[in-house]
Amino acid sequence: MKIILKKEVTNLGEAGEVVEVKTGYALNYLVPQGYASVATVSALKQHEETLRQRAHKEAKLVADAQALAAKISAVEVKLSAKVGESGKLYGAVTAAQLVEALAAQGIEVEKKNVTVPEIKETGEFEAKVKCYKGVFATVKLIVSAAE
């Protein structure tokens, strides 16, 4: 029996997939639990239309994310931090500081999407920013001593 998955089912498939399962499994478990719906002709047509619309939206989101990634990659962020006599920073450069510096340059990103390497000294570093699924940007980060 063909069904359309509404939710991800382990060892069966992701949400939105059309899969073939045994009739008893579908009618006694998947459909009553809300994991799937029966793949009738009309349900399949509606599902195909939904997938087509979703693909169109996804393409626009990916294009926007790639434009943002290009904008972020072109930016050079300069941060200053307190430095001890040995040349080591008193703290560490954090993702929050990078997000603030990017916001000052007109680029809005969420802190959870920023990956900063462990920075404990001055110099040039690269941080990664996740713009969307599979779209990443690299930011050049220059850390200098505060005066």
CATH of the domain at 25: 3.40.5.10
Asked if 56 and 17 sit in the same domain, the reply is: yes
What's residue 87's pLDDT? 76
Asked if 44 and 18 sit in the same domain, the reply is: yes
Asked if 141 and 75 sit in the same domain, the reply is: yes
Number of domains forming the structure of the chain: 2
Asked if 74 and 140 sit in the same domain, the reply is: yes
pLDDT in tens, 79-95: 888 888 887 888 888 88
CB 41 within 8 A of CB 13: no
Residue where a domain terminates, one of 14, 31, 62: 62
Query: What percent of the chain has pLDDT above 90?
Result: 54
Asked if 74 and 25 sit in the same domain, the reply is: no
* Full domain range(s) for residue 26: 2-62
User: Could you tell me the pTM of the whole model?
Assistant: 0.65
